[in-house]
Amino acid sequence: MMLENKVIIITGASGGIGSALANLVIQKGAIPILTDITKNKLEKLGESLTKKTRREILHIEHDVTSPQSWEVLMDLVNKKYGRIDILVNNAGVVQPGAAEVISLEKVNQQVSVNFLGTIYGCRAALSFMKKQNFGKIINVASLGGIIPMSGEAVYSATKFAIRGYSLSLYAELFSSPIEISVVCPDSVDTPFLDYELLYDESALSFIGKPMTTQYVAKYILKAVRTKKPEILVPLGMGIISRIVMIYPKFFFLFFPVLKKIGNRNIKNRRKEKE
């Protein structure tokens, strides 16, 4: 799919991956609609891109956990552009910590933003795209939706859920002109990762070197251009993750070593930040 003049909604646009993706699709000639619940950051991003491109970049305060907010968003985009070519469900949150310690508020937030937000977005987009008889949805999950993550169980569970939901929708839309893909990246160097760095429980998020947001954004665009149901980022680590989870006991044979590596990398990264 060529991106020239394509209308692309990006949720969580003021975050690391979202803003990198916004910059990238603009370079490809697309028309991004940037949404986020963080109004100040979103406005700064919108203003910056408008100044950079010398054309209006639409940015809309939007709560992915609200079906009503999705209705308003779709209505606004429809009135302005008359179509939606691509939706990228990118918004997400994480809260590390022991399962019994994390507040219920943080549990509900992760489930609401990560999983329900994706469901609401897909439902709203599908209703719109089926009427226009075309469109593509990209859901951003994680390799933590393939590999279990101790200390981040709720986050991992929501990413497992996004992956399962996306692949199920792929089957549901198999003979449809509407396409859907799920992108599963490894750890990405974002403010979220800096937040995880504060918690020893986040060891599995620090096994390898974090990828740049620009690198992940390129793979999201790859998902737009292909009909693959799933994009693993990076591919090698994704394949390894799939293989070791054929039988979970294989993963847990290596778990103590992986956790040790993660803990060591957390300590080293903290020293670098000092």
Residue range 103-134, pLDDT digits in tens: 999 999 999 999 999 999 999 999 999 999 99
Residue 255 tokens, joined: 């778990």
Q: Is the pLDDT of residue 1 over 80?
A: no
Share of residues in the chain with pLDDT > 90 (%): 93
Share of residues in the chain with pLDDT > 70 (%): 100
- Residues 166 and 94: their CA atoms lie apart, in Å, by 20
pLDDT at 270: 94
| Domains, in order of start, for the chain | 7-273 (3.40.50.720)
Question: Of the residues 81, 120, 155, 170, which is catalytic?
Answer: 155
CA-closest candidate to residue 196, choices 55, 92, 56: 92
Q: Is 170 a catalytic residue?
A: no
Task: Tell me the whole-structure pTM to 2 decimals.
Answer: 0.95
Q: Which residue has the higher pLDDT, 216 or 3?
A: 216
Q: Is the pLDDT of residue 44 over 80?
A: yes
Q: Is the pLDDT of residue 90 over 90?
A: yes
